[in-house]
Amino acid sequence: MATAPSAVIILAAGEGTRMRSTTPKVLHRIAGRSLVGHAIAAARVTQPAHLAVVVRHEREAVAAHVADIAPDAVIADQDEVKGTGRATECALDALPGELAGTVLVTYGDVPLLEGETLRRLLALHDETGSAVTVMTAHVPDPTGYGRVLRDASGDVAAIVEQKDATDEERRITEINSGIYAFDVAVLRDALRQVTTDNAQGEKYLTDVLAIVRSSGRRVTAHVVDDLWQTEGVNDRVQLAALARELNRRICERHMRAGVTIVDPATTWVDADVTIGPDAVIRPGSQLLGATTVGSYAVIGPEVTLTDTEVGERAVVRRCEADLAVIGAEATVGPYSYLRPGTVLGRKSKVGGFVETKNADIRDGAKVPHLTYCGDATVGERANIGAGTIFANYDGVAKHHTTVGKDSFVGSNTVIVAPVDIADGAYVAAGSAVTDDVDPGQIAIARGRQRNVDGWVDRTRAGTRTQASADAARDAGTRHTDTPSEGNGS
């Protein structure tokens, strides 16, 4: 078991010009987190005493984001001197001067790096008593990476950057991930000796290794087989590739924990989503943000849930929900839109082409189809007929409607809020309700039907409509009983 590090330093000051974006590279997102958010999550697994994030490009935006997701993190500003060595030095200057023990250095653009991998790096560092331990990997094409130079005993002699490497050194396939464990005192002393005398004119962190070796201290390598954990993001192509791989891993983790994901290739699950065992996720679904799905629930096909809670045995299909709660055994969809503030009770139903917002639809209540239900409370077992509109907005303010338990609202009704329809009440179909309805009443708010004789003769003379009306009158029928074309007659 590795001891916790004194600090983790995350280098996040780079400009990321190849992203071609006004958004700082480390703030681009995959699996529901920013790139730097993934780095912070991995660092947390090691339980560091201190966490520092080095910033420079778009400093205010990056610092604000870090403060939001990791309020305890120290923000360290890199000055005009370029290079990872200088960035690390700036972080150490921002951390307590009495800091001792081991410090980890990672990057803000390596989103697949796992906290357990950092823990194994720390464990090897402790076991070998090394001054520096570097994470490395063997890759088929090492172009662009710093090469790891080994001595006769197998320890790390130095790391040479691509632009400073000889032809022979460039043929080495073991590359530097840029992730290190350092003895703090050794790191501070070595950084004071690092210069910018190189092809890039930067203060390289890699130069620390040669300095440490020259002082007779040990530098070891922790080789990882999982190359994805060393992959950084430099452009949007790499961002998409890493997003696909991370999603594959997240889906696999859920499947191995007892979740059925019918088609992982078309299912996207964010890193902070939780899914109960025996839930089923059907193709084309996206579970985003802090969404939770209960056991035995069925999600999909074609569902997008963002920060939404789904209870056990609920069924949600062809639906979009955002900041909503879907109760146990509730059914939603198809083609429903649950907006923020929607809460569905146990065994409730929201059906096809229904939109809800700030709606409390309680146990057993039904809003089956073609309805807008906003700023409303629908009591237990109430039934809202097709085509009902909760007219909650008067152009200035939103108003609330309550439909009591076991009440029934007929189809094609407009409820002009604020209205209170009591328990056990009815609203007749086609009504425009503007006043409260008491228990046991039926509200009828529509004009009485009036049939005007001779209207077609006066206004549609000579049309096929008049001809059919004349024929029906002559025959003494209200409509033809002759089968229409296409019915096989």
Listed in sequence order, the residues at least 6 apart from 101 whose beta carbon sits closer than 8 Å to its beta carbon are 3, 5, 6, 183, 184
Q: Count of CB atoms within 10 A of residue 1's CB?
A: 7
Determine if residue 395 is left, alpha or beta; phi over 0 gives left, psi from -120 to 50 gives alpha, anything else beta. Answer: left
What band does 161 get if pLDDT is binned at 50, 70 and 90? Answer: confident
Instruction: Break the chain into its structural domains and give their ranges.
Output: 7-230, 256-443, 451-480
In the structure encoding, which two tokens stand for residue 102, read together?
A: 């081991």
> Is domain 256-443 classified as CATH 2.160.10.10?
yes
Residue with tokens 């995350």: 10
Average pLDDT over residues 107-136: 96
CA distance 362 to 181: 55
- Cα gap 391→418, rounded to integer Å: 9
To the nearest whole percent, how much of the chain has pLDDT over 70? 97
- Shared fold status for 7-230 and 256-443: no
1 band by pLDDT with thresholds 50, 70 and 90: low
Q: How far apart are CA 6 and CA 99, in angstroms?
A: 7
pLDDT of residue 351: 97
With bands split at pLDDT 50, 70 and 90, how would you rate the model's confidence at 361? very high
The average pLDDT across 76-81 equals 93
**pLDDT, tens digit, for every residue of 253-308?**
999 999 999 999 999 999 999 999 999 999 999 999 999 999 999 999 999 999 99
Question: How many CB atoms are closer than 10 A to CB 315?
Answer: 19
Counting every residue written for the chain, the total comes to 489
pLDDT at position 339 is 98
pLDDT tens readout for residues 178-217: 999 999 999 999 999 998 887 778 898 988 998 999 999 9
pTM: 0.90
Using alpha carbons only, what angle is made at residue 352 by residues 346 and 358, rounded to the nearest 5 degrees? 55
DSSP label at residue 4: P
- Highest mean pLDDT pick, 12-16, 28-32, 153-157: 28-32
**Mean pLDDT for the stretch of residues 133-155:** 92
Q: Which of 38, 65, 125, 369 is an active site residue? A: 369
For the chain, report the end-to-end CA distance as a whole number of angstroms: 83
57 is catalytic: no
How far apart (Å, rounded) are the C-alpha atoms in residues 434 and 63? 52
Please determine, looking at this structure, whether the domain spanning 7-230 carries the CATH number 3.90.550.10.
yes
Quick one: pLDDT band at residue 489, thresholds 50, 70, 90? very low
Kindly report the average pLDDT of the chain as a whole number.
94
